[in-house]
Structure 1
Amino acid sequence: MGEKVISLKFNEDKSCFNCCLENGLRIYNIEPLVELRRIDSDILGSLSQCETLHRGNLKFLVSGGSRPKFLKNAVIMYNDEIRKVHAEIRLPEDIKVVRLNTDKLFIGTRDCIYVYNNLTLNFLFKFETRDNLRGLLEVTPYTDSSERQLLVFPGRKLGSIQIIDLANTEAGTSSAPVTINAHQGELACIALNMQGTLVATASTKGTLIRVWDTTRRIQLVELRRGSDTATVYCINFSADSDFLCCSSDKGTVHIFALKDTRLNRRSALSNMGILGNYGESQWALATFTVPPECACICAFGPSSSVVAVCLDGTFHKYIFNIEGNCNRQAFDVFLDLCDDEEF
């Protein structure tokens, strides 16, 4: 029970991941795979979420599991350098999601998103949302002027997303949101690329992933994960946005080409016009399988690698090429690793 993984989350550049457990928090480096930090439950209790920026000492935590030390409607600001709780933000409802960029903290409940300064914790503004039980909320991690500073979350209309330009949003006010009608059904997953130029969406049906241009508000490509309904757990772009990966409860990680979509597979019937849009679908360039029905998160690493980190404590690394070959390079049980170093 103590080793049960509650949630997994990559940091913004996908170089490490946070693992919230019934018995505390662990943080792992990916290249190479080593445990960087371990904080036991006697200090923080069981946790449902941990959000960090870069590899900083400030960690924003939400309690969960069977042994919480804090309220589930509170975000705890924990300073790992001095190993003390620095501050706490309490909201009227349970916290569904926490996100950070270089200057703001975003906290989502079922029907609101609250925005704070991430150092002073001063309240800035809030947005009302559609019922957001899954805690869908993404931000571009940096506030560099060369990248779009975006906040994306479910819109009021079923299947829509709202895009907020944070660069044009000041304390107490907000710019008019841009709405994209992404799907006919409820959203299940949202992902932003590092540059803030692309957003990917999947619905609860889970058969299609759509990629949108955040500036022109148009669909760039529609990618088919499969033909059977599935729960999409994770979508991520590669650092250069040339590729996209996704994971689902089917146990397969799919890798798609975005820059050159001709690399993606197509049905043999696509040229016959028999199956309409289905026949024209773009299927994954490459795939690999993790333990069936095991929830996992996936992300791109260096040298055409993709990693999958699973709730069962397993770590999988595969190398793919543009011919569609995908070969396992590494497998490990990250929960068995010991505390190697601290950052």
Structure 2
Amino acid sequence: MGSGMGIGVIWLVVALLDKIHVFSFPTPTQRLFSLETRKNDRGLCEVTSLASAERQMLVFPGHKLGSVQLVDLSCTEISMSSAPIWIAAHKSELGCLALNQQGTRLATASNKGTLIRVWDTASKHLLVELRRGSDPATVYCINFSRDSDYICCSSDKGTVHIFAIKNTNLNKRMALPSGGILGKYGESQWALTNFTVPPECACICAFGSNSSIIALCLDGTFHKYVFNSEGICNREAFDVYLDVCDDDDDLQ
């Protein structure tokens, strides 16, 4: 389930296994339209969250493997008979989706979790391909910074990665000649910087103020790091926001 806002309009979006329902909310609450999707076990869908956004977008898995369907919610009437607008994002099932606050950028990861791709929602062109890692991983979360200069992502590998997407020259690259036996892998853009959180523990991450990243983990830990364009990343705060105890522990 998600929600988004347009000028004078609030949408409530509900993702089911193979359908997306869009409602007006809160008054009057009524279903505006429904769309069929590919089997969507993860309930993937994203909607533009900013009322003054440049583009009011809804994105979700398309019918084709690895594709993302895009719906412009600013249209006064959605024609169900019109051809769907979609991006062939990956060759395998989608694992994670994210929109920036302006609705102009879309980030995608497959269920392999090795690559993150960033797309222009207007032209549907690929802007940059980023390498999270070489081993398959479950990507829990992707988020854009408010100015869309950076994205962050978390996975079950226990690492939060930060990538530059405006000035991609800031991202790290392998110190190898282009091409060669590693091909495109040797030319990959790697994270500007990263930090670790408890591995194999579900974690969400997002940008805070003053170039900070906040990560909240299912084990009850809170992590806050600050970073700069040179790739230096330092911990600013850590806390345990939940008391996680064994069932056998005595209650006081």
1:152-193 deviation digits (Å, cap 9, x = unpaired):
000000000000001115278586431100000000000000
Measured at CA, do residues 124 and 324 of structure 1 come closer, stay the same or move farther in structure 2, by a change above 3 Å? same
Contact 1:318 1:328 in 2 (8 A): yes
RMSD: 1.5
Equivalent residue for 1:163? Answer: 70
Equivalent residue for 2:110? Answer: 203
Equivalent residue for 2:2? Answer: 99
TM-score scaled by structure 2? 0.91
Corresponding letter in the other structure for 1:312:
D
Corresponding letter in the other structure for 1:100:
S
**CA distance in 2: counterparts of 1:174 and 1:323, whole angstroms:** 50
Aligned-pair CA distance for 1:292 = 1.4
Equivalent residue for 1:132? Answer: 40
SS in 1 for 2:181: coil
SS in 1 for 2:238: strand
Equivalent residue for 1:252? Answer: 159
Contact 1:197 1:213 in 2 (8 A): yes
- Is structure 2 residue 209 aligned with structure 1 residue 306? no
- Is structure 2 residue 236 aligned with structure 1 residue 333? no
Contact 2:157 2:200 in 1 (8 A): yes
Q: How does 1:54-133 map to 2 (within 5 A)?
A: 98-102=1-5, 103-119=10-26, 120-133=28-41
**CA distance in 1: counterparts of 2:177 and 2:67, whole angstroms:** 29
Contact 1:168 1:175 in 2 (8 A): no
**CA distance in 2: counterparts of 1:271 and 1:246, whole angstroms:** 26
1:91-146 deviation digits (Å, cap 9, x = unpaired):
xxxxxxx11113110001000011111112211110000000000000001343x5
Counting aligned pairs with the same residue, the percent is 65
Contact 2:11 2:25 in 1 (8 A): yes
TM-score scaled by structure 1? 0.67
**CA distance in 2: counterparts of 1:192 and 1:251, whole angstroms:** 23
Equivalent residue for 1:71? Answer: none
Please, which runs of 5 or more residues in structure 2 have no aligned partner?
A: 244-252
| Greater Cα offset, 113-122 or 258-267 | 113-122
SS in 2 for 1:164: strand
**Equivalent residue pairs, number:** 238
Equivalent residue for 2:61? Answer: 154
Aligned-pair CA distance for 1:272 = 6.0
